[in-house]
Amino acid sequence: MKRKNVTIREDQQEWVDSQDVNLSQLVQDAIDEEMSPTKDELAAAYQANADHAAETNAEWSAVSMEANQHLGEPPRDE
């Protein structure tokens, strides 16, 4: 890990001290928020979304089939 110096104002130092904050972690988290996601992170997010979408589709398909069984097929405009 690369070490860098960060200059903060005196009032910021007082706040950091009073909050018992790890300044390095705070800076790293802020930089992570500003960075674009990596290709691996995007791929993992897309996969998680695809899995969730498939589960949701399966759940709603079952609900739709159950509704059709109770209510009959929807009317068709012809």
What is the structure's pLDDT at 66? 74
Domain of 59 in residue numbering reads as 37-72
Tokens 């589709």: give the residue.
57
Q: Does 16 lie in the same domain as 5? A: yes
Q: What tens digit of pLDDT does each residue of 26-56 get?
A: 999 999 889 988 999 999 999 988 988 988 8
What is the tally of structural domains in the chain? 2
Q: Does 29 lie in the same domain as 1? A: yes
Q: Does 57 lie in the same domain as 43? A: yes
Please state, in angstroms and rounded to a whole number, the distance separating the CA atoms of residues 53 and 76: 28
Chain CA centroid to CA 36, Å? 13
What is the structure's pLDDT at 52? 87
pTM score, whole prediction = 0.47
